[in-house]
Structure 1
């Protein structure tokens, strides 16, 4: 399987996206559970299939482009819009928490940010959960620790490293619409229905005074590359945890509505959190 990944990483992005779009529609047609969840989640946000049908293909593109982003020696082209909000945070000497939902090429968000800012401001720290398959774990370990990126485990030690990075004025990246394990989140509205939402992003900001930057990496047609859109959180993060988590969910809704045709509507956003033996907290 690693040799297949190496082969795919050498293919043109345009071809990978074409293959991925086909795979996305195959998955949509083959899985009634996935299809139902996709349609229900989109409808909850006010969209019909005809308005977000491109998201079916983009889900497949996300999978197909991964070998290229993880293993190719050079990244595809990526234009950055809104970089001035990041520069203001660096000039103020603040750490930065980059937040992006499961939209577009979120893998490219951190890679482009690291390519642009890590040489001057230090590596971007991201949480990393190893894959269960040994071969995939090895591939992902290589990918997650590309130049300018520091991948840390989803453990208390990993969270401590994120806090350390922020207090040193560096950057971290999170997907706050990812369902955390039991005990690491709060139930908070997301498109009108309570969803179990991580508290980690809010806690990191509240404990370090870091700036919050919202990120959305859009795929361009025909494999031409990407556009990374960056913007400030509209208002300072609320001081109470419940209000801060709600505010972050609202910010994710805002980003998704900017490009609903590239959001992963099939993601099980409203599932019950899984139980884990060890709970990650940021107070230590």
Structure 2
């Protein structure tokens, strides 16, 4: 499999995206479970299938572009809203980038690192190591790129994120990822309760970090990407439940800007798994 990844990493984007679109539709047709979830989640958000049918192909494109994203040449990505990022860094308390499973979400961190890390320090991103040894190795190598530091979803990883923010650096999270039991709260997401991580709120509250919303939009015909940055509409509430809801609403806001590239088939409303102790216990040792 590593050889397969390296083989596809040199393909032009338009070829990868064409292959990915076919993969996306094949998965949609072949999997009734995935299809039902896709249709149910998009309908919950108020979209007809016709409005988001392009998301079927974009889900496949997300998979097909990974070899290039992880092992290939730098992908072309323009930036929009850089001023709000500069303003966030200027506060001197670190920057917390939040992005949903939208477009090429991993590239948003790479693009920010390429633009800001030389002057502002690296971006620390949280990731869950793969169970397959070969894939875990590929992910570790790929995500620790210049200007980026990938840390695992462990207490040690959370401590590293807190320390990075306290140094005035940046960290990146996907707050619409379902956390393990004990590490989240139930909060509405497109009108239905979803188990939502509290980590993003805790990081912001403990460090005073400025929250920046990010989304990376995939351009047609393999022409590259555009990463958009914008500030959180209002300061996070001191109340945990209200702050978690604010973040869910912010993710909804980003998704509604580009619903055709959201992963509607992602199991956003699944029950949390039982896992390690909650990251909040890292506070004392941070």
Give matches, 1:162-241, under 5 Å: 162-241=161-240
Using the alignment, how far apart are the partners of 1:229 and 1:94 within structure 2?
22
Using the alignment, how far apart are the partners of 1:174 and 1:277 within structure 2?
18
2:271 aligned counterpart, secondary structure: coil
1:187 aligned counterpart, secondary structure: strand
Q: Contact 2:180 / 2:276 at 8 angstroms: preserved in 1?
A: no
**Is residue 28 of structure 1 aligned with residue 28 of structure 2?**
yes
2:279 aligned counterpart, secondary structure: coil
Structure 1 segments (4+ residues) deviating >3 Å: none
For structure 2, the residue ranges without an aligned partner over 5 or more in a row are: none
1:27 aligned counterpart, secondary structure: helix
Partner residue in 1 for 2:56? 56
2:65 aligned counterpart, secondary structure: helix
Using the alignment, how far apart are the partners of 1:31 and 1:61 within structure 2?
17
Partner residue in 1 for 2:19? 19
Using the alignment, how far apart are the partners of 1:268 and 1:235 within structure 2?
28
Q: How many residues align?
A: 283
Using the alignment, how far apart are the partners of 1:198 and 1:277 within structure 2?
14
Cα RMSD, aligned residues only: 0.8
Using the alignment, how far apart are the partners of 2:200 and 2:278 within structure 1?
15
Using the alignment, how far apart are the partners of 1:251 and 1:54 within structure 2?
23
Partner residue in 2 for 1:120? 119
Over residues 122-157 of structure 1, what are the superposed CA-to-partner deviations in whole Å (9 max), with x where a residue is unaligned? Answer: 110011221111111111111110111111111111
Partner residue in 2 for 1:10? 10
For structure 1, the residue ranges without an aligned partner over 5 or more in a row are: none
Over residues 93-132 of structure 1, what are the superposed CA-to-partner deviations in whole Å (9 max), with x where a residue is unaligned? Answer: 1300000000000010000001111111111001122111
1:138 aligned counterpart, secondary structure: helix
1:248 aligned counterpart, secondary structure: helix
1:23 aligned counterpart, secondary structure: helix
Partner residue in 2 for 1:44? 44
Deviation at 1:76, TM superposition (A): 1.4
What TM-score results when the alignment is normalised by the length of structure 2? 0.98
Partner residue in 1 for 2:95? 96
2:106 aligned counterpart, secondary structure: helix
Using the alignment, how far apart are the partners of 2:50 and 2:43 within structure 1?
11
Q: Contact 2:44 / 2:190 at 8 angstroms: preserved in 1?
A: yes
